[in-house]
Structure 1
Amino acid sequence: ALLFSTLDEAKSEGGKATPASFSILKEDANLRRFILVRGLLVATSLAPPYFVVLAGGEDQSALGQLGALVLASALASLLSSYVWGRLSDQSSRRVLMLTGIVGALAMGGAVALALLGMATQIWAMPLMLFILMIAYHGVRQGRSTYLVDMSPKDQRSAYAAVSNTVIGGLLLVAGVAGGGAALIGPVATLVLFAVMSAGAAIAALGLREVEAAD
């Protein structure tokens, strides 16, 4: 924070989510679909705590596997970021589709291991979390690239502001829903998240190829 406070940042002429900015939601159907896809993909960021719960077993104590889970997350970031970046330059739409599929498979795999009574195995949840975090980092790369490439150059700040504002609202709702989902247990919650992630992949099929347009 101290280092960032020393940066000299040029003033921006736009970027605030004003009522006028929100009119682009009515005008741009592709933006609406992108926000839908991005909203469904928040499942990849909400799911990791439930992996930790499953790894802890019946006593909910996951400290014994915490190091392996953290390592799995770090390795996923290290190994996948470059690949997702290159793929996003070619087609960020396909990246969003792939990450939805990979995320759904990771969460489905975690559920399957839990139902088989194997979730507390030392390798089980770290492996599933590794796959999930690969998807998560792809989501971050794909959504950023797609938003920049789809936005008109003179409206990029408005597109970013509107998209982030809507997603922020969805995250608040998701936080409340996540608290309620805890009552139905981690397995049922992960099933819901897997469906969301798969739904994102399907919804991404309808997105425009913005890199091809360039």
Structure 2
Amino acid sequence: MTRIAFPDFIKPSLLFALIALAAPLRATPAPAAGTETLTVAGGCFWCVESDFESVPGVIGAVSGYTGGKTANPTYDQVTKGGTGHYEAVQITFDPARVSREKLLNMFFRSVDPTDAGGQFCDRGNSYRTAIFVSNTGEKTLAQQAKADAQRALGQSVVTPILQQGTFYPAEAYHQDYYKGTKLVLTRFGPKRQHSAYKAYRKACGRDARVKQLWGSAAPFAGS
């Protein structure tokens, strides 16, 4: 699938896709002792990573791909479709500082969980929302957060809760894109990555839609 939004607007990184052609096999490092992970899909992984790395108690977030069957997928493969993978983010957090329940509630209020076809300007299966769980306890918490979001919205929440499979970190140029300083070419001309990210996020309408849905309960809109 390709991103469809404002005419001719695409992620700046697509113009540098050749960087990924020789990408090595990627593996997710094991979480540090005393930490936990939460894996979610919320559309553009740049945005989800940026949002959750701002949360006290979150140690870090990694953009990647999960939910499909293709091993070591590339960004190009995932966005074209056919791999079954979602653009996702694996969040590592300290449960003594921030709970899984809080992160799940923040996640629902940072996306449009009523949209089954993608998120904001990004359309296609790889941009749908999802929560990935690895055991019954995590599944129960995710179900409770989903039910709470549905009650709060008064609308049907379509975000699925899926069994966690292999998480493949995305290419290096996607990680921490929102604060990168590399000069990239965009629809708006040459920009540093952090500026290109802000322009993309605004043009995609992410914060505007989240504010429309969640109002003052939206934790990241406008960040």
Provide TM-score, normalisation by structure 1: 0.27
Question: Structure 1 or 2: larger strand share?
Answer: 2
Higher RCO (Cα < 8 Å, 6 or more apart): 1
Question: Structure 1 or 2: larger helix share?
Answer: 1
